[in-house]
Structure 1
Amino acid sequence: MPTALPVSRKTLLLWFALLICAGSVGQLLHALGVPAGLFLGPMLVAIAFGVSGAQLRLHRQVFRFGQGCVGLLVAHSVTWGVLVAMAQSWQLMLVATFITVLLSAVVGLGTVRFGGIPGSTAAWGTAPGAASAMVSMAEENGADARVVATMQYVRVVCVVMIGSLVSHLLGATPGSGAAASAPAVSQAPHLLNVLLSLAVVLVGIVVGNRLPAGALLTPLMLGGALQLAGLLTITLPEPLLACAYGAIGCYIGLRFDRQTVCYVWKRLPTMIAGAVALIALCAACAYGLARAMGSDFLSMYLATSPGGLDAMAIIAVETHADVGLVLAMQTLRLFGVILTGAFCARQIIRLTQVRSS
């Protein structure tokens, strides 16, 4: 009868298997065009390892490094063109951002009231920001990041699928130059820019050690300021981003166990219903704003849609929508949600506690 592997050797083999499987599945989903595939793949694989009793835990500093890379990735979207677009229509964008955040809070309260999801989890799970950023901030603020990740990425998938369907129904057709025009972090990474970008991430993590979600926010603000000043060309190679998303995905996924999976599975219909309700409410808001401002509905729909900035930008490019408007409004809302997320979460928690008492 074969003897059992030593604990240390068995652990190393499990880590090796996790890295190979997580990387392979993430790249497969990414190649198939699945939204946030580089995050979802590792998270799903890590969930499988966690549920099977692997008992692996990723070091928190690796997770914080992933946060820093996500923050710098968001900072890459802060350009003078986006700021000019914001300055030209700042009133409209502020109103649209406020309405979207308010609608997400209403949906969050609804999921608590009718879906049985805890207030702290629902607050972050329905927040219309970058999914990975919201998962990171939920973790920092003590919410169940496992359930928040599920809610966020259920919504991301719904947003992209419905966004593509709406574009098709409105008769928008992809342009031949879409692929070349789609925003990208770096097509040909320059070693110096890569090293400087990594330095910003590391410095931001250290400086933001005592700040709420500091590992995310400090690289974001520092990188954005340096880029606008012309002192930094943010360059994050795709392998580095894949590792960052994979680190966040594995960190979250390994915390799942059988009890958590059962909890999420029972509430999956509520999560889907909440995502579709938020998309529908944002679409109604987009219709009203488009009529009031004389803009086309598709551009306004993509600008107010509660999905990922990158996915909405790519759809906007391919359908010849107003890419500047979409990027500007999505970026403004992203910053707004990141900066006010903790406050909004506290209000939702307070309201749900008042209702239950």
Structure 2
Amino acid sequence: MKQGNSLQTDLIFIVISGLGGFLLSLTGMSIGWMIGTLVTAAFIALFRPFRFQRKEKISPIHGNWLILGQFILGVELGQKMNMKVLHIFAENWLSVSFMLIFSIFLAMLSGFVMWKLSKTDMLTSFVGTAPGGLSAMPGIAQEVGANTAVVSLVQTIRVLMVVLTIPFTVFYLNTKSHSDAVVTTHGSAFSSGVFTVSNLTWTAALIFAAWLVSRMAVRLHFPAPWLIGSMLGVATLQVAAGAFIEHDLIPYWPAQANVASQLCLGATIGSKMNKQMFVGLKNTFIVAVISSAGLIAATVLSSIAIAEITGISVITAILAFSPGGIAEMATTAVTLHEDSTFVVAVQVIRVILVIAMLPPFFRFLHHFWVKRQMNYKAAK
């Protein structure tokens, strides 16, 4: 990475890449900003349009943009961990814990299948299939040394398959079993608060906590420290304050912050793409589609079984445990008058568990694989 890249060059690159994100966001997909920005940035990095031909090589934009995107994303995820989420988890801890662990196990099994059936290396296969979300996993892949192109492709395939299949599935189930729907009103699952001095003060406190814990995570050599640290810092302060005053404090957090995060992440990750990353992706694409379909089917069947055992609505269970986007599943739950708060709580807990727990495992896996390869070469 060249440190000489100017701020102006970086901003031009992000704006141009962001045009692709804007166009895809018009489809209504919440993650559209990142996918569109990533694809456009990758196109610029790979094919060098006329605007960039005067340079011998297109350098990735400064790595601080990735840090900024991860930090904003971590602050947003941390805000979703509050007392209400903890109460929901406490009331349904056994079924939720089982399904979360089982879904992570299924994802890891999917990664093992991808590793064995495609040319993708072990680390990239496991990171690519981890159910941590398209916003977070490519950045973590870059941190731990996995192939970001493959991880982005696999994560995008799974999210798109979930978004295109799960809502239609639950809509069908809703029409067949309308009497089983649980009609509840929980308001917006993504309230950003009102623009007031008190809400802004609380936002500043959360950002400071996020920065403080992120700095600690950097010193402790955590993988993706600005994502994990900011998320844990905000979640800890949010829950602690809620427990102390016995109600949740709501910060002011505009929707544009999520867009800014997706722009920074998409542009940075896309700018680092090169043609070598895409070698042999045809087989990987096929395996990714098949493994994602298997993961989704297994999750749906398991959710139906959990619903039968616990008495939770079948549709609510499917939406809560599906490895898709938080916004998409929550929106579908609100549309069908299902328990959107439960859906958001379970989705958030899964993402936080994956992001907080799996990166150390990925780093260990990377060291183990490198050591094994070195021993194999030495034995020859």
Q: Same fold (TM over 0.5)?
A: yes
Matched, 1:75 2:78: yes
* In structure 2, C-alpha distance between the alignment counterparts of 1:351 and 1:294, rounded to whole Å: 44
Q: 2:37 is paired with a residue of what secondary structure? A: helix
Question: What's 1:183 paired with?
Answer: 189
- Cα distance, 1:302 vs structure 2: 1.0
Aligned partner (choices 69, 72, 83) of residue 66 of structure 1 = 69
- Cα distance, 1:85 vs structure 2: 0.7
| Residue pair 1:178, 1:318 contacting (<8 A) in 2 also | no
| Residue pair 2:139, 2:269 contacting (<8 A) in 1 also | no
| Residue pair 2:128, 2:151 contacting (<8 A) in 1 also | yes
Residues 318-327 or 80-89, more deviating: 318-327
Aligned 1:96-111 pairs, distance under 5 A: 96-111=99-114
Question: What's 2:14 paired with?
Answer: 19
Moved over 6 A (4+): 10-14, 177-180, 346-354
Question: What's 1:207 paired with?
Answer: 216
Question: What's 1:225 paired with?
Answer: 236
Structure 1's 308 and 178: CA in aligned 2 closer, same or farther, altered over 3 A?
farther
| Deviation sequence 1:290-329 (CA, Å, 0-9, x none) | 1211222111111111112222112111112222322222
Structure 1's 337 and 145: CA in aligned 2 closer, same or farther, altered over 3 A?
same
| Deviation sequence 1:221-248 (CA, Å, 0-9, x none) | 1111222244864433233322221111
Question: What's 2:246 paired with?
Answer: none
* In structure 1, C-alpha distance between the alignment counterparts of 2:174 and 2:189, rounded to whole Å: 23
- Cα distance, 1:32 vs structure 2: 1.5
* In structure 2, C-alpha distance between the alignment counterparts of 1:110 and 1:224, rounded to whole Å: 34
Residues 333-342 or 232-241, more deviating: 232-241
Residues 90-99 or 22-31, more deviating: 22-31
Unaligned runs of 5+ in 1: 1-9
- Cα distance, 1:16 vs structure 2: 5.7
TM-score in terms of structure 2 length: 0.81
* In structure 1, C-alpha distance between the alignment counterparts of 2:369 and 2:277, rounded to whole Å: 25
> Residue type matched to 1:215 in 2?
W
* In structure 2, C-alpha distance between the alignment counterparts of 1:273 and 1:310, rounded to whole Å: 25
> Residue type matched to 1:327 in 2?
V
| Residue pair 1:139, 1:145 contacting (<8 A) in 2 also | yes
Structure 1's 258 and 296: CA in aligned 2 closer, same or farther, altered over 3 A?
same
* In structure 2, C-alpha distance between the alignment counterparts of 1:220 and 1:183, rounded to whole Å: 18
Question: What's 1:130 paired with?
Answer: 133
Matched, 1:139 2:148: no
Give the length in aligned residue pairs: 344
Residues 308-317 or 244-253, more deviating: 308-317
Aligned partner (choices 169, 173, 183) of residue 170 of structure 1 = 173
Aligned 1:38-77 pairs, distance under 5 A: 38-53=33-48, 54=52, 55-77=58-80
Unaligned runs of 5+ in 2: 53-57, 243-248
Matched, 1:149 2:155: no
- Cα distance, 1:44 vs structure 2: 0.8
Provide the alpha-carbon RMSD of the alignment.
3.0
Matched, 1:235 2:252: yes
| Residue pair 1:299, 1:326 contacting (<8 A) in 2 also | yes
> Residue type matched to 2:192 in 1?
S
| Sequence identity (%) | 23
Structure 1's 263 and 11: CA in aligned 2 closer, same or farther, altered over 3 A?
farther
* In structure 2, C-alpha distance between the alignment counterparts of 1:215 and 1:261, rounded to whole Å: 28
| Residue pair 2:192, 2:250 contacting (<8 A) in 1 also | no
Residues 28-37 or 118-127, more deviating: 28-37
* In structure 1, C-alpha distance between the alignment counterparts of 2:76 and 2:365, rounded to whole Å: 29
Structure 1's 241 and 274: CA in aligned 2 closer, same or farther, altered over 3 A?
same
Residues 27-36 or 282-291, more deviating: 27-36
* In structure 1, C-alpha distance between the alignment counterparts of 2:185 and 2:23, rounded to whole Å: 20
> Residue type matched to 2:173 in 1?
L
TM-score in terms of structure 1 length: 0.85
* In structure 1, C-alpha distance between the alignment counterparts of 2:298 and 2:46, rounded to whole Å: 36
> Residue type matched to 2:233 in 1?
L
- Cα distance, 1:61 vs structure 2: 1.8
| Residue pair 1:51, 1:258 contacting (<8 A) in 2 also | yes
- Cα distance, 1:72 vs structure 2: 1.0
| Deviation sequence 1:36-90 (CA, Å, 0-9, x none) | 1111111011011111145131211221111111111111211211110100111
* In structure 2, C-alpha distance between the alignment counterparts of 1:99 and 1:209, rounded to whole Å: 31
Structure 1's 16 and 294: CA in aligned 2 closer, same or farther, altered over 3 A?
closer
